[in-house]
Amino acid sequence: MRPLPQHTVTSSASLADARTAPRTPAVVFITALLLTIFCLPREAPAQAPTPSQYDVQAVYLFDFAKFVRWPSGTEHETLTICVAGAKAYTDTLTRIVAGEQIEGRPIAVRAIQNPEDVAGCNIVFIGVAARERLDSLLAATTGKPILTVSDVPGFLDRGGMIQFLVIANRVRFSVDLRPAARGGISLNSELLKVAVSVNGKPIGGGAQ
């Protein structure tokens, strides 16, 4: 898989899939969204749709799932992305993953509220709307094979794995491999290549 340049703000999976995968409604949506974000000139026509931050982060979250390896024996029949935060984010992500599969596994999106709700989640996203519950939700995932993602400032310092950032009006992300390793999760090196920063990166390259 050819890596993207560092200055791009999406992982390589979406663009590659747009060329080779069947054009399901979700693929069409993702392709159009990425073209809107990255391929239009700055002076785009006034009628061009402007993707929200929810749209961009949701596409990223869908792509993250393609670059994660969970411990053997922990995979569920359905890959479940759990969301603690704004309903708009849950709705956007649900629309994007509708009808999609990753390695033959259908994708489900589930809203969560409490720490005990993380059971059965493969990925947990904690939005700023749930920042007061961040520490308790993180504590419930510690040492478990659950990828944690958030746009709350300082997320990596508090034990999270992937934090969204906004740099020059573009959504980027940073990674901390240490909590991922404690949960038995590995992240593909192609994902790490497009991260702004990677904490705990192994000598000689990223995880496979």
In the chain, what's the furthest Cα-to-Cα distance?
A: 50
Is 5 a domain residue?
no
Instruction: Give me the chain's average pLDDT, please.
Output: 79
Residue 65, SS3 per DSSP: helix
Total tally of structural domains belonging to the chain: 1
Q: Residue 204 falls within a domain, yes or no?
A: no
Range of the domain at 34: 12-199
In a domain, residue 78? The reply is yes
Please indicate, yes or no, if residue 118 is contained in any of the structural domains: yes
Residue 206 lies in a domain: no
Kindly report, residue by residue over 174-195, the tens digit of the pLDDT: 999 999 999 999 999 999 999 9
User: pLDDT value at position 52?
Assistant: 79
Instruction: Kindly state whether residue 6 falls inside one of the protein's structural domains.
Output: no
CATH of the domain at 157: 3.40.50.2300
Q: What spatial distance separates the first Cα and last Cα of the chain, rounded to whole Å?
A: 12
**The whole model's pTM is what?**
0.76
- Three-class secondary structure of residue 32 per DSSP: helix
pLDDT along the chain (208 residues), means of 10: 36 37 43 42 52 87 93 82 93 93 93 95 95 96 96 96 94 96 94 94 52
